Amino acid sequence: MTILERIVTTKKAELKLRKAQFPESYWEQSPLLERKPHSLVQRLKNSPSGIIAEFKRRSPSKAVINQSVSVREVVTGYATAGACGASILTDNEYFGGSLDDLVQARACSSLPLLRKEFIIDSYQITEAKAFGADVVLLIAALLDETQIKALSAHAKGLQLEVLVEIHDASELEKCLQPTVDIIGVNNRNLKTFDVSLDTSKDLAAKIPADFLKISESGLQDPSAIIALKNYGFEGFLIGENFMKTTHPGAAAQEFIQQLNP
């Protein structure tokens, strides 16, 4: 069983419990359902850096990354650094995150917030809006074309922007939906966990201009961002590179300053 298959199995069990405790109608009563989301797309288009900074405590590939900093401290630091948005991991079993992290991020920042989660059910999208997200992630490796259509349409009905993540050319075609705003290329091979920026470079020309393009994983140096901008990428999701430091916000600020001297 691959790591993705294990995560999906866990997620299905979690969802069964969540739905029993809090039916979707419960989250539909949240006052945040009426909130107008912040647009990550517009922030990225108007930004010279395009940095989306991530908060995550651990990951299956790296185990513990940083357990000592608070969401408030990190997200506030990212905003001060000039990030375009923040990605918040809400998976607990594999990444040590929670929906409470999303609530705290929303309470302390007006940055567009991406709920970074393994979404397989519309329930999770309604939940994302109820907890303050502006953008939701759909992972093409987990979903077929029909699911991507349905889930992205549900998100748009809640005024959320949709980021679909791909890992190779075979996943791209099913993502080309009018209800998708952003296509993200993950440079990490999900089978080997190897990282190569060539993944983004190879896929860039295949992504239609209708979609904003972002690159994810392995972006450890400002020179990588500069190189990928030449391939049409407008956004760059960086997590571990900041989170592995004592002060992620300061690390993000130094990184962004090198992009905008």
Give residue 261's pLDDT: 65
pLDDT given at position 36: 96
- Rounded Cα–Cα distance for residues 184 and 164 (Å): 6
Mean pLDDT of 122-136: 98
> Coil, strand, or helix at residue 212?
strand
Q: What is the pLDDT of residue 237?
A: 98
- Residue 159 binned pLDDT confidence (cut-offs 50, 70, 90): very high
Residue that the structure tokens 């009018």 belong to: 178
For the stretch 97-116, pLDDT in tens is: 999 999 999 999 999 999 99
Distance CA 216, CA 214 (A): 7
Give mean pLDDT, residues 162-171: 96
Contact 112, 139 (CB under 8 A): no
Coil/strand/helix, residue 74: helix
The residue count of the chain comes to 261
Q: Is the pLDDT of residue 144 over 90?
A: yes
Report pLDDT for 60. 82
Give residue 157's pLDDT. Answer: 97
Query: Which pLDDT value is given to residue 59?
Result: 86
Share above pLDDT 70 across residues of the chain, in percent, rounded to a whole number: 100
Q: Summarize pLDDT for 40-81 with one digit per residue, the tens.
A: 999 999 998 999 999 999 988 777 898 889 999 999 999 999
Q: What is the mean pLDDT of the chain?
A: 95
pLDDT beyond 70 at 192? yes
Q: How far is CA 165 from CA 22, 162, 257, in A?
A: 28, 10, 27
pLDDT tens for residues 233-251?
Answer: 999 999 899 999 999 999 9
CA–CA distance, 125 with 153 (Å, rounded to integer): 10
Question: Structural domains in the chain?
Answer: 3-259 (3.20.20.70)
DSSP-assigned letters across all residues of 121-151: SHHHHHHHHHTT-SEEEEEGGG--HHHHHHH
Distance CA 71, CA 100 (A): 9
Pairing state between β 113-116 and 58-59: unpaired
Decide: helix, strand or coil at residue 116: strand
Instruction: Output the pLDDT for position 260.
Output: 76
